[in-house]
Amino acid sequence: MTVRIETLPPERENTLLAAYSGAVASARRRNLAVFVVIVALYLLAGWMAEVRPLTFLDNIQNFTAYLGQILPPLTLANLPADVAAWYWGLPKWLALLGETILMAYLGTLFGGIAAFGLCFLASANLVRSPAIRFCARRFLEVCRTVPEVVFALIFVIAFGLGPMVGVLALAIHTTGALGKLFSEVVENIDMKPVEGLTGTGAGFLETVRFAVVPQVLSNFASYALLRFEINVRGAGVMGFVGAGGIGQEFLVAIRNFYYSDVSAILVLIILTVVAIDLATERLRHHLLGREAHA
């Protein structure tokens, strides 16, 4: 059985083709205009921020030359001895690296606990009081708006040098960052369990404990692990302002032109961060996958 397709009258067909061509041309002009605006804003931002590509190109050889200076002379014929000489301070560096990881762990732990407590107060679907939500959200914004290094500099003045400064700085910034992420997770939960418990007369804490936490726990753990990765890198920088850890030793090596020590510590930090990234990534995927199959 064949179906005969009716053709449009020539005038109608020409009108539709002209309308289609006009719509396509209009879309192309709109896309081109958006592209031009983005490029213009990009160039304007670069000009206002004094980003000079020519300066970068003129001095790129200094960067490559410095990389050549910090790399130790390694030979295949004498590789074990060369690596041993390169990592002459390995026990000391590992101890400082452990201190950095502990700093990141404690900062993540304390910040995660504070974020866990505040995120429910900042969630619009749980707290009806605009004043409480406003205060909780603004507090979290203050915590995450100020960079960790600035907090660390303030705490160094107040409490002196040491890892406690780094832990406090990381904990406060983690509270703000995780509190924001946690509250967004809470605002996307299924509200039926909440409504069921509320209907039976359950209070706020009972509702959060039995209707909200079971839905968000795996996402909270995933975000906390991601934050721990970030804090490990941040804890390394804390050493630059006197918070101890491997960052402080790294700064000493840079300032004193201990070129091979700079590369050795840098490689050690990179390997540690990669190992932590891989481990936490597997754990995050495991938690999210278990939730998907639940």
| Per-10-residue mean pLDDT, the chain, length 294 | 72 87 93 95 89 82 85 84 88 91 93 93 90 93 89 86 88 93 92 88 88 88 88 85 83 88 90 86 73 55
- Asked whether the beta carbons of 183 and 119 are under 8 A apart, the reply is yes
Nearest to 177 by CA among 107, 99, 272: 107
Tokens of 220: 């909270």
Please give the angle made by the CA atoms of 115, 116 and 120, to the nearest 5 degrees: 100
Tokens of 44: 């304007």
Q: How far is CA 287 from the centre of its chain?
A: 19
Quickly count helices (H) and strands (E) in the chain.
12, 0
Whole-number Cα distances in Å, 122 to 217, 259, 261? 17, 49, 46
What is the Cα–Cα distance from 127 to 132, expressed in whole angstroms?
Answer: 8
Nearest to 267 by CA among 92, 101, 97, 103: 97
Nearest to 106 by CA among 284, 231, 274: 231
In terms of phi and psi (left: phi > 0; alpha: psi -120 to 50; beta: otherwise), the region of 245 is: left
Whole-number Cα distances in Å, 84 to 80, 195, 205, 252? 6, 64, 57, 21
| pLDDT value for 201 | 84
Q: How far is CA 231 from the centre of its chain?
A: 9
**For 101-120, b where at least 16 C-beta lie within 10 A, e where not — what string?**
bebbbbbbbbbbebbbebbb
| pLDDT value for 153 | 87
Nearest to 264 by CA among 66, 86, 139, 106: 86
| pLDDT value for 199 | 86
In terms of phi and psi (left: phi > 0; alpha: psi -120 to 50; beta: otherwise), the region of 252 is: alpha
| pLDDT value for 294 | 53
What is the Cα–Cα distance from 185 to 214, expressed in whole angstroms?
Answer: 12
| pLDDT value for 41 | 94
